[in-house]
Amino acid sequence: MTNQNDDRHAHGDANRDPITGTPGAHPVGTGVGATAGGVAGAAVGSVAGPVGTAVGAAVGAIAGGLGGKSMAERVNPTVEDAYWREHYSAETYHDPQYGYEDYAPAYRTGYEGRARFADRDFEQAEPDLRAEYERGRGNSRLDWDRARDATRAAWHRVERALPGDADGDGR
């Protein structure tokens, strides 16, 4: 079995920090995790009043940021794109009138969404996934009803790579 880190280096994609150039940076995953952690920490800390809210938000943001970065590191967009480019036409939902360029935004929505919505299952995240797909589909000819299965397939491919049952849906 190939390690994703090996694939990342083989493809020249080290997820470099846009400012420092440090490999392994995942600003989106870190930001999403920090935001979620900060909100949760503030809520827990609010029991202790305004100071508790501030401390809870700071601690939650740090913990959430690290968790978000960890989740994002498990999803290598270069590896996922290469996998789906090679395998999309064998999927049961594939319609031969559509090429990979039509399916690619749906796959991207799925594998990126799985990292962003780590605390939800697909059905819970679907409204947000649909909105993201609609905003980012570019020239894809697939509407959400046709893109949904591809998004779900990419979501579950990432989920299968995670230890345990990350979202509790039995997969």
pTM over 0.85, yes/no = no
Query: How many domains is the chain built from?
Result: 2
- Phi, psi (rounded to 5 degrees) for 130: -60, -45
Domain boundary among 14, 44, 73: 73
Domain boundary among 18, 42, 73: 73
Structural domain that includes position 25: 4-73
What residues contact residue 69 under an 8 Å CB cut-off, 6+ apart? 25, 26, 29, 30, 33
Q: Which residue has the higher pLDDT, 91 or 49?
A: 91
What are the tens digits of pLDDT across the range 17-45? 555 565 554 555 555 555 555 555 555 65
Q: Is the same domain home to 16 and 65?
A: yes
